[in-house]
Amino acid sequence: MYTEDDLLPLSALQHLIFCERQCALIHIEQAWAENLFTAEGRIMHERVHEEGSESRGDIRIKRGAPLRSLRLGLIGKADVIEFHRQADGSWQPFPVEYKRGKPKKDDSDRVQLCAQALCLEEMLKVFVPDGALFYGKTRRRLDFALDGTLRKLTEETAMRLHELIDSGRTPKPVYAKKCDSCSLVGVCLPKTIGKRGSVQRYLLGAMREP
């Protein structure tokens, strides 16, 4: 179990899966830069949170709800939590996370959604089997079963996040195509720094040759 002082932003899970260096730049070095993609995402989340709570028959909707898990050491805020009335009169929480773009090839969005569900389970003492991701670009909502495989990956990612932050070390850059869409590319300089490292390794190798 973690303490209140140990809690890390739930959103950092997505940063870690996307790129360990990006995660370290943001959460260790406190570096941040905004581009069109991050600005659109920020505006979408702000609008969702400002809409407030409402009821629709057997569904109650809570926006911008705080989340916390001492077991995983995470803290954050849910975009939307739907509470669905069950046959026995109880209310089943169903987290919905909003994303500005389209579904990603990696697991970052699903892990973030699952982490929200795990926080809700710890806070409300209920089981949360499902959740959904809404994508602004496709205007589609995709429901996901939060199965054992995803839960295990989410718990492992939370552990990796704490290990990275506790180490206080920022990984060296390795350029990939996804770097071009990162808002921190101008801070990270993956092509420049990575190329410099390659040149240094070449020179050191050449000096060792007889």
Residue 119 and residue 111: Cα distance in Å, rounded?
Answer: 12
Is the domain of 57 the same as that of 28?
A: yes
Task: Specify the higher pLDDT residue, 36 or 69.
Answer: 69
Percentages of the chain per state (helix, strand, coil), in multiples of 5:
45, 25, 30
Domain count, the chain: 2
Tell me the per-residue pLDDT of 70-121, one tens digit each, with 9 for 90 and over. Answer: 999 999 999 999 999 999 999 999 999 999 888 988 999 999 999 999 999 9
Q: How many CB atoms lie within 10 A of CB 74?
A: 27
Spatial CA neighbour of 65 closest among 108, 99, 94, 90: 94
Provide the percentage of residues in the chain whose pLDDT is more than 90. 64
115: phi then psi, degrees, rounded to nearest 5: -60, -40
Is the domain of 72 the same as that of 166?
A: yes
Is the domain of 44 the same as that of 132?
A: yes
Residue 43 and residue 97: Cα distance in Å, rounded?
Answer: 14
Is the domain of 120 the same as that of 190?
A: no
Q: Give the pLDDT of residue 35.
A: 57
Is the domain of 133 the same as that of 181?
A: no
Whether 182 shows a pLDDT value over 60: the answer reads: yes
| Residue indicated by tokens 């870690």 | 16
Is the domain of 88 the same as that of 160?
A: yes
- 45: domain CATH number? 3.90.320.10
Is the domain of 30 the same as that of 86?
A: yes
Spatial CA neighbour of 161 closest among 1, 19, 29: 19
Is the domain of 205 the same as that of 114?
A: no
Is the domain of 56 the same as that of 98?
A: yes
Q: If you write DSSP's letter for every residue of 50-67 in order, what string do you get?
A: HT--EEETTEEEEEEEEE
Is the domain of 160 the same as that of 96?
A: yes
| Angle, CA of 35, 36 and 42, to the nearest 5° | 90
Q: How many CB atoms lie within 10 A of CB 80?
A: 21
DSSP label at residue 178: G
Tell me the per-residue pLDDT of 37-58, one tens digit each, with 9 for 90 and over. Answer: 565 556 665 666 666 678 888 9
Is the domain of 124 the same as that of 179?
A: no
Is the domain of 65 the same as that of 112?
A: yes
Spatial CA neighbour of 190 closest among 204, 205, 171: 171
Tell me the per-residue pLDDT of 128-138, one tens digit each, with 9 for 90 and over. Answer: 999 999 998 89
Count each helix (H run) and each strand (E run) in the chain, helices first: 7, 7
Structural domain harbouring 185: 172-210
